């Protein structure tokens, strides 16, 4: 098994309802070291990480550029700060609302060891479960990305791309290209859309500031704490969650029980057609792929 660095970033994770402690504790179990770029927070996020006492955790204190409002690139900049401190042969990346189930730990280790023996493979693709509104529902259809890179060789040339959804690398001539990646069955449990409505409102405002100016925020963001009805289609989730999430799930039940899965946006016609084709063939028309898949 090659040495493994866990990397992440966070800012004001408590106020915005991120399960960042659970995500970073997961990295701590899986990795030889964990590097977290902790932004200039005002809600005790850094102190919570310090008090966790994780022996392999290194905190890198950062300042966010609040004037950078182009395409979410500040997220990639923060990711790259953590990445520059990674010393492992491979990196495992989790954002503050992403977790891996303990049932997949052995599979993850096997996949990394297998990929490490194959010089053609630079990265690994994971499969996404996007939870929405409560821990009982997942968003489905082309509205939600299905897979992305979350583990890769730490060559010193890899960089977080655009708004930190995935990664790319520089070649020998300094040109940026996609990574050669192999699909795995390792699941990412994404809880970015499961938050108390007040936390969701704070998160939405902070997140959209990375993409839009103040006029857009006033025109498009809800002014109340009602949960945003932005999902087109949901499916009931009947599996288990990572064990480390059990306390949070039980605590959050006081407000997740109020989530109405029938309150959602109407699916546009072209999206409906694409989803119909995907359900019958497995083919997602025009799917964005920030990688080159190898088997």
pLDDT tier for residue 223 given thresholds of 50, 70 and 90: low
Q: What is the pLDDT of residue 220?
A: 65
Contact 94, 100 (CB under 8 A): yes
Rounded CA-CA distance 58/2 in Å is 20
CA distance linking residue 169 with residue 20, whole number of Å? 27
> What pTM value is reported for the model?
0.93
Distance CA 8, CA 31 (A): 12
Q: Are 49 and 23 within 8 A, CB to CB?
A: no
Taking only the tens place, the pLDDT of each residue in 189-222 is: 999 999 887 777 777 777 777 788 888 777 766 6
Q: Give the mean pLDDT of the chain.
A: 93
138 has a pLDDT exceeding 80: yes
């Amino acid at each position: 098994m090659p040495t493994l660095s866990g990397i992440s970033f966070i800012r004001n994770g408590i106020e915005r309802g991120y399960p960042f402690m659970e995500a970073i504790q997961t990295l701590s179990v899986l990795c030889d070291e964990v590097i977290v770029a902790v932004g200039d927070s005002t809600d005790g996020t850094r102190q919570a990480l310090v008090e966790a006492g994780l022996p392999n955790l290194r905190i890198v204190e950062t300042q966010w550029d609040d004037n950078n409002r182009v395409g979410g690139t500040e997220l990639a900049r923060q990711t790259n700060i953590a990445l520059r401190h990674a010393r492992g042969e491979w990196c495992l990346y989790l954002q503050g609302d992403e977790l891996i189930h303990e049932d997949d730990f052995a599979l993850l280790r096997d996949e990394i060891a297998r990929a490490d023996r194959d010089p053609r493979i630079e990265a690994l693709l994971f499969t996404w479960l996007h939870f929405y509104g409560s821990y009982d529902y997942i968003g489905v259809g082309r509205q939600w990305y299905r897979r992305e890179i979350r583990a890769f060789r730490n060559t010193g040339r890899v960089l977080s791309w655009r708004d930190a959804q995935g990664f790319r690398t520089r070649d020998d001539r300094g040109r940026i290209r996609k990574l050669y990646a192999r699909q795995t069955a390792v699941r990412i449990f994404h809880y970015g859309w499961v938050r108390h409505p007040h936390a969701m409102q704070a998160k939405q405002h902070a997140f959209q500031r990375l993409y839009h100016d103040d006029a857009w925020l006033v025109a498009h963001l809800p002014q109340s704490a009602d949960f945003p009805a932005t999902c087109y289609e949901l499916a009931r989730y009947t599996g288990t969650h990572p064990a480390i999430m059990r306390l949070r799930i039980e605590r959050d039940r006081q407000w997740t029980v109020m989530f109405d899965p029938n309150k959602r946006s109407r699916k546009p016609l072209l999206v409906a057609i694409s989803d119909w084709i995907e359900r019958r063939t497995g083919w997602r028309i025009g799917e964005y792929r920030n990688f080159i898949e190898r088997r």
